[in-house]
Amino acid sequence: MSDPGKQQSLMRRVSQKAANKLRRRTSSASYDPEERPGPVFVRHRSGSATGEGRLGIQRHDSFDDDDESAVIIDQVDGPSDPNAVSSDKIKTVPLPGHRQIDPSVGVIVPEQLQIGTAMTRITRKKKVKRIFKLDVNKARVSWDPTKQTSRFYVDDMKDIRTGANARNYREELQVSSAEEDRWITIIYIDSEGGKLKLLHVIAPSAELFKVWTSTLEAIHRYRTEMMAGLAMQGEKFVEAHWKRYMANLQASTSQPAKADRVSFEDVERLCRSIHVNCSRKFLKEKFKRADRDNSGYLNFQEFERFVKLLKERDEIKEMWEEYVVNPGVGMYRNEFRAFLREVQMVDVDTDSAQVDKVFRKFCRQSSKMNQTESVSRSHIDDINEMRMNREAFAAFLLSSSYNPPLLAATTAQCLDHPLNEYYCSSSHNTYLMGRQVRGESSVEAYIKVLQRGCRCVEIDCWDGDDGRPVVTHGHTGTSQCLFSDVISAIGKYAFISSPYPVILSLEVHCSLEQQVKMAEHLVNILGDSLVCESLMSNSFTLPSPQELKHRILVKVKGSRQQEYKNGFLRSNTSSSSNATSESDDFGSVAGEKKKPPKVATKIAHELGKLGVYCRGEKFRNFALPESKTFNHVFSFQENSFLKFCKDSEKKFQLEKHNVRYLMRVYPSGFRVNSSNFDPLGFWRRGVQMVALNWQTYDLGVQLNEAMFASANDRSGYVLKPKILRGRNLDFPSDSADAKVKKDKKQVTFSIEVISAQQLPRPKDHRSEDSIDPFVEVEVFSADDKAKGTSTGEGGVDLSDSKGVSGLGAPQKRRTNVVRDDGFHPLFKETMKFSLVTKFEELVFVRFSVYDAQGGDDKSLIATYTAKLISLQQGYRHLPLYDVQGEQYLFSTLFVKVKVDPMTLIDRELPQRGSTTIESLKTSAKSVLSRGFSGDRRSVRRKGDKDKSKESEASQDEKQLHDSKRLLISPPTPESAS
C-alpha cells in the first residue's frame, strides 16, 4: 500500500505547479515575439583594445567632472571597425526615399536597404547572389523568405568584420584578394538554436559596402543605448522610447492613435517588450499615480513621471535615510567620505583627491537632475557646501566605474616573479565551439577565449589533405580549420585583453614535412612576438610575465636533435621520449600494470626548437634529469593526476615539483559533452595551467573567470599562494612537515542579498509569464572535502553532503521566493559563512538567480561568481551572466558584503616555551589580520601604495614562518589533506 503522506506531498507539488502556470497567464497584453526592442547582452567586439568592455567599466580618471554620465555605448560596443563608417556620419537630414528609425535620434536607413539589394553570399559549397533586405521595425536582415534560417536580428550581432579583419575567411573560402575591400563577415547568434553563425557576403560596390556596414552598426548602437539607458538613473532615454513607441503605434494600427497619449494596455505592452517583468497590479498602481488627471491615459509628462515611479528603489531610500543626517537637504562631503570609509571599506585617505573628484561629479549631476534647485555658483565651487541628492547617490551605487564590485588588480607590482609562480588562465581543445565528438572547429573559438583573457590555448595539429596542416579533434566527426588561420587569429587577438604572454600548447600529429610548415607559419606570421630563443643566456629560471609582455611562447616536445645540459635544453642528440600525445600518464606508479606505450611522433627540429621556455616532457619520474630542467612542462589528464595524489608521498613530490616547474592538467576524454572538472583541486596542488573547456559555461569555467577577474583589467596571470611558490628551501622537507607549513585560517564573512534589477525572462517564458525569483549563494574553497570545515546561517540551507564541487560539500543557501516580480524583487536576507582553509586565496562565492516553477522545479536565469579576496566590501551591484556566459546589458544583483579579519586556527603545540608560543600566536594573528583587512580596504588605487609596506609585511611573515619551524614539532606522518 502506498504511503498517504507521500501522496499528499505529491499532490501538493502538482497543485503548486498548476497554480503557478495559471497565475502566469494573468496579463492581457499581447506581444509579437519578433518585435524586439533592443539587445539584451553586452557586445564584446573583436576590435576592442580595452579588454573585457563591460558596461560602465572605465578608468575613473578619464571622465570630466562635468560629465553627467559615462557614454554607455563606448563601454558596451568598443571601437568600430576601422573600415566601417561611424554612426555619426549617417545622422544627417533625411533624404527623399529614406526613413528614420526614430525622430529623436535620427538614424537613417536608406530605402534601398528596405527594398533589398543584391549581394553575393559565400559558403563552402557555393557562391550565389541573394537579395538582402532590412526590416526596420523588426531590425532584421533576411535573404531568403522561404527559409527561417536565412535571416538574423541586428540585436544578435556579435561582430562585423571587413577587409583584412576577415581575410582568413576569404582565403579559406578561396575568394580572390580583389574582393577584400568589399568583403563583409557578420557574426551573430542564431535566435532559434543559440549557436554562433557566420554570414559571408561580397557587396557589388564600395558605396553599398559602406551603406550596409555603417547602417547596421548605427542601428545596433542606437538600440543598445535605448535598452541600457532604461537601467540608468535619470530619464535621459524616456523621450526616445516615447517617440519610437508612438511611431510604431501609428504604423501598426489602421485607425490613427490618439495624439500623444498612451493607455494602460500600451504602457504594459511597452514594459513587457523592454524586460520590465513585474505584476500587472504593480504596473497598474504606478500608472494610476502617474495619471494625474485620472483620464485613463498618460501624456508625455505623465509618462515621464511613470518611468520615474517605476525606477524608485525603496532599499536605496532606506540607506539614504540611514547614512545622511538631513535626507531632505542632501549628502555633504564628510558624510560621503564616512560612507566610503566605514561601509564601503574604501581607503579614502590614500586617494583623497580622487574621492573629492567623484563627490564633486555626482553633486553636479544632482543639480542637473534637479533643475528647480537654485544654488549659487559660489556654493557649487565650494566642495564643503556641495550636496548630493538621492538620485545621484543611487547613480553612484549603480556605477561600475566608481563603485565596482571587484578590487583593482595590482599587476604592475606582482608580475615580476618567474612564470612558474603564477596560475595561468588556460583552455583545452580551444578550437572547438561545442561538443568533443561532433563539434565545429573554428578560429572564432580562439578569438573568443583571447577576448576573455585566456593566456594558454591548445592547438591539435594534423596533416591536411592538400599539404597544409589543419586544426581539428582527430578521429572524431569534428570539422577542421587551417593551422595558418588559427595562428593569424592568435597573432591579431593575443593581446586584446592582456599584454602578458600567450602560450600555444601544440599537440602534434603531423608528418615531419607538415611540421616544418607549421614552424614556418609560426615564425612568419607571429614575427618578433614569437620567442625563438632565450631572453638571457646562462639563466636557469623562467622569465616573468612582465619580461614576456607581448610575447608568444610555444609549448611543444623537443626533437631528437636536442639534449639536456646544465638544466637547459640544448641541440644535438637526445634519448628522451618525444611522443606528442597529451596523455603524459603517471605510468610509473608502483603496483600498477603499465599500459602499452603509445606510438611516438617524431618532432621536426624546426618545430621542436621553438619550445624555448615550455618544452613538453612525458612524465616518468620526478628524480630523472628531464624533471629537473627549468623549462620542462608535464601534462596530465585529470584522472591520472587525481589517482597519483592518493599516495601522500607522491602527492608531496608533485606539489614540490610545481613550486619550481610548470605543469598542465586537462579534462578527461570521456567528457564528450565538453563539461569541466572543479579547478580548485588542481590549483591547491600548485598546477599553473589548469585547462578547461571554455565553450561550456559551467562551474569550472565560472570559477576560472572569477580567479582571473579584477575591476580594471584581466591579465590572465595570478600569483600563487606563498606556500606553493618560491625557492625549494621554503618548501616543507617531507610530507609529514607539509601539514605544519600550511597553516589553517578561519575566514568569516556575511552577504546580504538585497534586491535584483530588471531580470530577463527565461528563454521558454512568454512576455506575460510571471517570474518568481530567488537567489542561491554557494561558497567554494580548496578545503571543503572534510565535513565540518564550513558552516553557514541565514536563508534556507541547501548544502548537500555530496555537493556539486569535486572536493566535497560546499555551503549553499538561498533566499525566499519573491512572487511575480522579475523587475525589482526585494529579498533583504543576510547569510553568514565561516570556513577553515589553508588557502584563503582560493575561496569563491557564486550567486545564482533562479525562477521558481513550482515544487522543486527551477529555471536558471543568471549567475555571477567572484573570488572572495577580490570582492569589494559594502554595497555593490553585481553584473549577471546567462548560461552561455554572456553578460546581461541591464540586469544586476544588489548585495552588501562584509568580511571579518582572518585569524589563525590554534593548534596543539609542544609544552616548552609556552610564553614564546603564545606571543607567536598573537603576532601571527596580528600580521595576517593586518594583511587581509588592509588589502580589502584599498579599492580603486590600491596599486599606488608604497611597496615598502609590502616588503615589511613580507619580512614579518618570513620571521613568523622561521620561528614556527623551530617551535612546532611535526605531526605523525599521514596523508596531507
Query: H-type helices in 256-351, by residue range?
Result: 264-273, 280-290, 300-310, 314-323, 333-342
Q: Place 540 in a pLDDT band, splitting at 50, 70 and 90.
A: confident
Mark whether 824 is an active-site residue: no
For residue 296, count other CB atoms closer than 10 A to its CB.
11
Q: What's 83's DSSP letter?
A: T
What is the average pLDDT value for the chain, to the nearest integer? 78
Q: State the cell numbers at 349.
A: 585617505
Distance between CA atoms of residues 537 and 417, nearest Å: 18
Task: Quickly list DSSP for 120-149.
Answer: EEE-SS-EEEEEEEEETTTTEEES-TT-TT
Distance between CA atoms of residues 109 and 257, nearest Å: 24
Q: State the cell numbers at 596.
A: 602499452
How many helices (H) and strands (E) would you count in the chain?
26, 35
> Are 700 and 461 contacting, i.e. CB atoms less than 8 angstroms apart?
no
Catalytic residue, chosen from 241, 473, 521, 632, is: 473
Q: Place 94 in a pLDDT band, splitting at 50, 70 and 90.
A: very low
Q: State the cell numbers at 515.
A: 611540421
Q: Place 34 in a pLDDT band, splitting at 50, 70 and 90.
A: low
408 pLDDT exceeds 50?
yes
Q: What is the 3-state secondary structure (H, E, C) of 886-948?
A: CEEEEEEEEEEEEECCCEECCCCCCCCCHHHHHHHHHHHHHHHHHHHHHHHHCCCCHHHCCHH
Predicted local distance difference test score (pLDDT) of residue 202: 97
Instruction: Name every residue whose Cβ is closer than 8 Å to that of residue 714 and which is 6 or more positions away in sequence.
Output: 51, 52, 409, 452, 453, 497, 498, 708
Residue closest to 85 by CA, chosen among 170, 189, 155, 160? 160
Distance between CA atoms of residues 392 and 621, nearest Å: 63
- Per-residue pLDDT, averaged over 39-50, amounts to 60
> Are 894 and 315 contacting, i.e. CB atoms less than 8 angstroms apart?
yes
Distance between CA atoms of residues 213 and 199, nearest Å: 13
Please list, residue by residue across 350-379, b when 16 or more beta carbons sit within 10 angstroms of its beta carbon and e when fewer do: bbeebbbbbbbbbbbbbbebeeeeeeeeee
Q: State the cell numbers at 916.
A: 614564546
Beta strands 481-482 and 773-780 are unpaired
Is 737 exposed, middle or buried, given 0-12, 13-18 or 19+ CB atoms closer than 10 A?
middle
**CA dihedral sign of residues 216, 219, 224, 225:** positive
Predicted local distance difference test score (pLDDT) of residue 146: 83
For residue 195, count other CB atoms closer than 10 A to its CB.
11
Cα-flanking dihedrals φ and ψ of residue 262, to 5°? -130, 150
> Measured at the alpha carbon of residue 698, what is the angle toward residues 695 and 702, in degrees to the nearest 5?
95
Cell numbers 527623399 correspond to 96
Cell numbers 567572484 correspond to 866
> Are 326 and 349 contacting, i.e. CB atoms less than 8 angstroms apart?
no
Q: Place 739 in a pLDDT band, splitting at 50, 70 and 90.
A: low
Q: Place 81 in a pLDDT band, splitting at 50, 70 and 90.
A: very low
Please give the helix or strand (H or E) that residue 616 lies within, else none. strand 614-617
Maximum mean pLDDT: which of 111-125, 894-908, 915-929: 111-125
626 vs 21, higher pLDDT? 626
Q: State the cell numbers at 966.
A: 623551530
Please list, residue by residue across 84-95, b when 16 or more beta carbons sit within 10 angstroms of its beta carbon and e when fewer do: bbebeebeeeee
In the chain, what percentage of residues exceed pLDDT 90?
48
Distance between CA atoms of residues 484 and 520, nearest Å: 10
Distance between CA atoms of residues 712 and 242, nearest Å: 36
Distance between CA atoms of residues 407 and 319, nearest Å: 23
Cell numbers 555619426 correspond to 88
Distance between CA atoms of residues 247 and 105, nearest Å: 13
- For the chain, the straight-line distance linking the first and the last C-alpha, in angstroms and rounded, comes to 48
Helices 352-369 and 333-342, axial angle in degrees (round to 10): 120
Cα-flanking dihedrals φ and ψ of residue 432, to 5°? -85, 140
Give 846-889 pLDDT, tens digit per residue. 999 999 987 778 999 999 999 999 999 999 999 999 998 999 98
Give 672-682 pLDDT, tens digit per residue. 888 999 999 99
Cell numbers 535620434 correspond to 105
> Are 179 and 207 contacting, i.e. CB atoms less than 8 angstroms apart?
no
Q: State the cell numbers at 690.
A: 589548469
112 pLDDT exceeds 60?
yes
Q: Place 196 in a pLDDT band, splitting at 50, 70 and 90.
A: confident
Q: Place 100 in a pLDDT band, splitting at 50, 70 and 90.
A: very low
Paired strand residues for 750? 832, 898
Q: Place 3 in a pLDDT band, splitting at 50, 70 and 90.
A: low
Q: Place 669 in a pLDDT band, splitting at 50, 70 and 90.
A: confident
Q: Place 380 in a pLDDT band, splitting at 50, 70 and 90.
A: low
Q: Is 159 helix (H, G, I), strand (E, B) or coil?
A: strand
- Per-residue pLDDT, averaged over 187-193, amounts to 83
Mark whether 657 is an active-site residue: no
In the chain, what percentage of residues exceed pLDDT 70?
70
For residue 224, count other CB atoms closer than 10 A to its CB.
24
> Are 122 and 198 contacting, i.e. CB atoms less than 8 angstroms apart?
no
Q: State the cell numbers at 60.
A: 575613473
Q: What's 821's DSSP letter?
A: B
Which amino acid is present at 730? D
> Are 407 and 938 contacting, i.e. CB atoms less than 8 angstroms apart?
yes
> Are 758 and 891 contacting, i.e. CB atoms less than 8 angstroms apart?
yes
Residue closest to 793 by CA, chosen among 749, 759, 760, 756? 749
834 pLDDT exceeds 90?
yes
For residue 31, count other CB atoms closer than 10 A to its CB.
14
Torsion of CA 697, 699, 704, 705, to 10 degrees: 50
**CA dihedral sign of residues 235, 238, 239, 240:** positive
Residue closest to 291 by CA, chosen among 262, 250, 258? 262
Query: H-type helices in 613-698, by residue range?
Result: 638-644, 648-660, 680-683
Residue closest to 773 by CA, chosen among 884, 869, 848, 866? 848
> Are 133 and 215 contacting, i.e. CB atoms less than 8 angstroms apart?
no
Instruction: Name every residue whose Cβ is closer than 8 Å to that of residue 396 and which is 6 or more positions away in sequence.
Output: 358, 362, 388, 402, 403
Predicted local distance difference test score (pLDDT) of residue 825: 95
194 pLDDT exceeds 80?
no
Q: Is 457 helix (H, G, I), strand (E, B) or coil?
A: strand
Q: State the cell numbers at 178.
A: 580583389
Predicted local distance difference test score (pLDDT) of residue 255: 54
Please give the helix or strand (H or E) that residue 16 lies within, else none. helix 4-23
Distance between CA atoms of residues 487 and 503, nearest Å: 12
Range with lowest mean pLDDT among 256-265, 509-518, 672-681, 781-790: 781-790
Distance between CA atoms of residues 45 and 54, nearest Å: 11
30 pLDDT exceeds 60?
no
Predicted local distance difference test score (pLDDT) of residue 160: 94
